Chain A
Amino acid sequence: MRAKNIAWKAFIHLFMLIIVAFCLFPVIWMMIISFKTVGESISGFSALTVQQPTWANYERLVELIPLWQNLYNSLFTTIIGTITTLFFCALAGFAFAKYKFPGRTALFYFVIGTMMISTEIGAIPLFIIMRKINLINSLWSLILPRIATAVGIFYMRQYILGVPDEIIEAARIDGCKDFGIFTRIILPIIKPALASWASLTIIARWNDFFWPLLFLRKTSKYTLMVSVSMLPVSDGLSTPWQVVLAGTTLVVVPSILIYLALQTLQKSGIMAGAVKG
């Protein structure tokens, strides 16, 4: 029995270590190659050792694509997109959680129902709409349609339901108006929910590819993700892999760092909080 238990324990750890290796390997491998000189071999196993580490691939990147402009575009859409979506999802979630009004249940089921319709399906007319309102090549085309999302509203509502009514009543008696209650009472209380939702949104927006590809049609307007996706063909159809992987390192490492930072910030595990309930 004891021997069997030890064998089982060993098996679990071995299995998990293999999974971890699979999870980390592509990322580590990418980072190693991004520091190799263009002349060094990158085929097969020889890819895993670096003879002369160099920053040259990153410098080459700046020559190939408008890196700083693209980085700014990515940061702008990610940051503004996250802030606006947090605000408006929490606002609607607050209305569903703490107000009684005609049609509340019906409207709430309606919002849940809209989750079934993916925005991507309407991509063709959406492109026409964006062209009509002059948002093609504008970063706002990425922010505006997702200023409030059904999933976000649902998540915020679940969390705000747990805020005691007495606090809101007390604020109202003290003369706090509806919008004031939201900004001064609700928002500070739901900070943990905002933080978990923010981390998921930041990563999703930073990694966003389809929408920027569709709406942004000028190199100077591209987000980093679009520029990087075009790297293999940006240096006359044969960009060295070292340079391509320097580009992917630049987009992957920030999301990993953000995830790790937020993970340590919130011991309970941000992602676990996001799916609960």
Chain B
Amino acid sequence: MLKALKKHRYPYLFISPYILLFLFFQLIPVIWTVQISFNEWDGLRTMKPAGLDNYGLMLQDYMFLDAIRNTLYYWVLSAAGVLLLAIAIASFLNSDNLRAKTFFRTTTFLPYVCASVAMGLIFSMLFEENSGLINEIIVKAGGNRVPWLTSSSTARIPVVILHVWRLTPWYTMIVLSGLLNIPEEYYEAAHIDGASGAQQFSNITLPLLGNILFFCFVTITVDSWKLFNESYVLSGPGSSNTSLFQLMYQTGFTTFKLGYASAIGVVLILILLSISIVQFAIRRRQGEL
């Protein structure tokens, strides 16, 4: 054992920084979160064992239930919005019919490099009830002003729009790289057989993109459950658009209920873990691992 370690000391040495950092800053915190979640703690005094109290509290806490509902809403709508837009934009970027491809590729990627916090501030102004541009357009078109961020029923909409706005470019690029890998011959053969553009898209493009789209879906899912910046900056009344992760932050660092915040953390861990397990199982069935 020691001999092997000495003989192969260089590769182990090269990998060790990552392993150490992982243990110290990822694994230990996650395990510790689980432990804290069974206690009552303000971070300063000693912990008081609380059993399952924190978990029991969740089911009666309307803020927690709101956060779960909001995050589900963010997840479903961003996944649908981002994937549909990414497929459409990537297909057009890849189309022989499009001129000035470099221009389109460069400009459609720009939202991804813009900081979500800064864009959140801008969106909060665009969606402002009385002077915002969005309402101005709605009024010009004959509609009524929408109280976007001041009403609990609409406060989630700007958050989803911002999230989709920022994430679509990244996924467009991933889908595009998938499209570029589909051999041109498939389309030529289909063309000879008389398949229309729409048929080619649904019978060649979509099935061959399957794996990539699945990968995108999984990462968007993770991104959505970790959503923080957008709803933090675009905060609506009360907990009307608070995300689950944001609720964990607020419970932990503004009200200092670390035990309860950790319990929320454990729920997040379980959700993200089950996503990984489902992903792993599906990949395995497809014979990729």
Q: Which residues of A contact B (CB under 8 A)?
A: 5, 8-9, 12-13, 15-16, 19-20, 22-24, 26-27, 29-30, 42-45, 47, 88, 91-92, 94-96, 99, 101-102, 104, 107, 111, 114, 116-129, 144-145, 147-150, 153, 178-179, 182, 203, 206-207, 209-210, 214, 225, 228-229, 231-232, 241, 244-245, 247-248, 251-252, 255-256, 258-260, 263, 269, 271-272, 275-276
Chain A at the B interface: SS class = helix
A sample of 13 inter-chain contacts (CB < 8 A) reads A9-B97, A16-B104, A23-B165, A23-B169, A26-B123, A95-B10, A120-B228, A122-B32, A207-B117, A248-B119, A256-B113, A259-B109, A259-B113
Known A24-B110, A92-B18, A251-B118; contact A16-B11, beta-carbon cutoff 8 A: no
Instruction: Please determine whether A129 and B107 come into contact, CB atoms closer than 8 angstroms.
Output: no
| The residue from A44, A96, A276 contacting B15, defined by CB atoms under 8 A apart | A96
Chain B residues with CB under 8 A of A231: 121
Alpha-carbon distance A104/B11, docked complex (angstroms):
9
Q: Which of A47, A95, A129 has the most CB of B within 10 A?
A: A95
Measured CB to CB, the nearest residue on chain B to A244 is B121
* Distance A127 CA – B29 CA, assembled complex (angstroms): 9
Task: Flag if A23 contacts B173 (CB, 8 Å).
Answer: no
Structural contact, B113 and A255, CB atoms closer than 8 A: yes
Q: Which residues of B contact A260 (CB under 8 A)?
A: 106
Restricting to B94-128, which residues have a CB under 8 Å from any CB of A?
95, 97-99, 104-111, 113-126
B130 within 8 A of A: yes
Contact among B92, B108, B121, B165 with A12 in the assembled complex (CB-CB below 8 Å): B92
Contacts of B226 in A (CB 8 A): 118, 120
Task: Note all chain A residues with C-beta closer than 8 A to B120.
Answer: 229
Q: A92-B18, A118-B222 are in contact. Are A125 and B110 (CB under 8 A)?
A: no
Is B131's CB under 8 angstroms from A114's CB?
no
B122, A26: Cβ atoms closer than 8 Å: yes
Question: Which residue from B105, B114, B245, B261 sits with its C-beta under 8 Å from A27?
Answer: B114
- Which residues 10-54 of B have a CB within 8 angstroms of A? 10-12, 14-15, 17-18, 21-22, 24-30, 32-33, 36, 43
* CB atoms of B117 and A271 under 8 A apart: no
Q: Would you call B32 and A255 a contact (CB within 8 A)?
A: no
Beta-carbon contact of A124 and B133 below 8 Å: no
Most buried by A among B22, B88, B117, B169: B117
Cα-based distance from A126 to B27 in the complex (angstroms)? 10
Decide: B116 and A124 in contact? CB cutoff 8 A.
no
B67 to chain A, nearest CB (A): 15
Tally inter-chain residue pairs, CB-CB below 8 A: 241
Complex Cα–Cα for A121 and B212 (A): 26
Q: How far is the CB of A247 from chain B (nearest CB, A)?
A: 8
Interface-lining segment among B56-64, B72-80, B199-207, B248-256: B248-256
With both chains docked as a complex, state the minimum distance between the C-beta of A86 and any C-beta of chain B, in angstroms: 13
B25 and A129 within 8 A (CB): yes
* Complex CA–CA separation, A255 to B116 (angstroms): 12
**Taking CB as reference atom, which chain A residue is nearest B181?**
A276
Neighbouring A residues of B26 by C-beta, 8 Å: 114, 117, 119, 122, 145
Q: Does any Cβ of A come within 8 Å of B157's Cβ?
A: no
Specify the chain B residue showing the minimal Cβ separation from A263. Answer: B106
Q: Please tell me if the beta carbons of A92 and B15 are within 8 angstroms of each other in the complex.
A: yes
Contact (Cβ within 8 A) A121 B109: no
Contacts of B118 in A (CB 8 A): 30, 225, 228, 247-248, 251-252
B208 proximal to A (CB < 8 A): no
Q: Are A44 and B113 in contact (CB under 8 A)?
A: no
Q: Which of B4, B89, B106, B174 contacts A16 (CB 8 A)?
A: B89
Q: Find out whether the CB atom of A91 lies under 8 angstroms from the CB atom of B17.
A: yes
B285 within 8 A of A: no
From A27, A107, A150, A272, contact of B173 by CB (8 A): A272
Say yes or no: A44 contacts B136, CB within 8 Å: yes
Query: Do the beta carbons of A116 and B15 come within 8 Å of each other?
Result: no
Within 8 Å by CB of B272, from A116, A128, A263, A269, lies: A116
Chain B min CB distance to A193 (Å): 16
CB A153 to nearest CB in B, in angstroms, measures 6
A95 to B262, CA, bound (A): 36
Chain B residues near A30: list those with CB within 8 A.
Answer: 118, 122
A109 to nearest B CB, angstroms? 9
A88-B17 contact, Cβ under 8 Å, with A99-B8, A123-B248, A125-B28: yes
The answer to whether B29 and A125 have CB atoms under 8 Å apart is: yes
B268 engages A206 (CB within 8 Å) = no
Q: Are B98 and A16 in contact (CB under 8 A)?
A: yes
Q: Does B276 contact A (CB under 8 A)?
A: yes
- A92 and B14 contact, CB distance less than 8 A: yes
Enumerate the 10 nearest inter-chain pairs by beta-carbon distance, A residue then B residue, closest first: A122-B29, A43-B131, A44-B136, A248-B118, A125-B32, A95-B14, A99-B11, A101-B8, A95-B11, A148-B18
Contact A20 B108 (CB under 8 A): yes
B273 within 8 A of A: yes
- B153 in the interface, Cβ–Cβ < 8 Å? no
What is the CB-to-nearest-CB distance from B215 to chain A, in angstroms, rounded to a whole number?
A: 10
